[in-house]
Structure 1
Amino acid sequence: MAQPSTARFGKFRILLGNNAEPIVYTAPCGFTSKSLTLTKDLTDVTLPDCDDPDAVAWVGRDASTLSASVSGEGVLASESVETWLDAWENVASVPVKIEIEFPAKTITWTGLMHVSSLNPSTEQGGRVTMSVEMQSDGELVRTVA
């Protein structure tokens, strides 16, 4: 049996871009978990049986929109806190690059996202942590290299 080719935690990168030309992307420090969710909204339509109008109809579905979101959490690193706050305070969406690097290829999504929530928290005796949520603003372009 052949083993699957997989990617490790450090090869899944969430990078924020600046306003330079060309854009310079950096990965804010502190994530201990992160995820990318790709969503497709669907519209339902009833598909009747033309030969048997009394038969139970099947539901057909048409794609209507695509969306992406990023979430992550970890320690609140002083090296990254202002980067996150600046992105959250920005009325405009920010450039984002998401990479998953496998041994033989790297999948990259680039586009714009809004930082929709920042949630710093802590418990007595612990360190300050923060969770982050970002939502796509338009298309994320996927490339494979």
Structure 2
Amino acid sequence: MAQPVTTKGGKLRVMLGNDAEPIVYAAPCGFTSRSLTLTKGLEEVLIPDCEDPDAVSWQGRDATSLSMAVSGEGVMAQESVETWLDAWEDVNSVPVRIELEFPAKTVAWVGRMHIESIEAGGENGRRVTKSISMQSDGEMVRTVTP
């Protein structure tokens, strides 16, 4: 049996871009875990049996949209707190680059996302943590590089 080629959690990177030309992307400090969710919007339609109109119809589905969500958790780092807050306060979506690096290739998505929510929490005597949620705003262009 051949083992799959996998990668570590730190190789899933969430990077925010600046206003420079070309855009410079950097991963804000503090995430200890992150997740990427790819969603396809579907519209349902009943497909009748033309020979037997009384038969139970099969459910058909048509793709209507694609969306990407990113969430991450970790410590609230002084180095990145204003980066996250500035992006959240911005009425416009911000440039984002998501990378998933494997030993032989990197899959990346580039586009714009809104910072949907930032949650900070802390217990007495413990470090302040953060939870951040992001939603795509338009197309996220995928590239694969060796």
Q: TM-score range by the shorter chain?
A: over 0.9
Aligned residues: 145
Please, which moves more after superposition, 132-141 or 50-59? 50-59
1:120 aligns with 2:120: yes
Whole-angstrom distance in 2 between the partners of 1:67 and 1:100: 17
| Deviating 4+ runs (over 6 angstroms) | none
| Aligned residue identity for 2:60 | G
Q: Which residue of 2 aligns with 1:109?
A: 109
C-alpha RMSD over aligned residues: 0.7
Alignment of 1:86 with 2:61, yes or no, is no
Other-structure match for 1:25: 25
Letter paired with 2:65: T
SS in 1 for 2:87: helix
Identity %: 68
Q: Map of 1:1-145 to 2, 5 A cutoff?
A: 1-145=1-145
Which consecutive unaligned segments of at least 5 residues does structure 2 have? none
TM (norm. structure 1) is 0.98
What is the CA–CA distance in structure 2 between the aligned matches of 1:3 and 1:34, rounded to whole Å? 24
Is the partner of 1:117 in helix, strand or coil? strand
Structure 1 residue 7: Cα displacement: 1.1
What letter is aligned with 1:108?
Answer: A
3-state DSSP of counterpart to 1:10:
helix
| 5+ long unaligned stretches in structure 1 | none
SS of residue paired to 1:52: coil
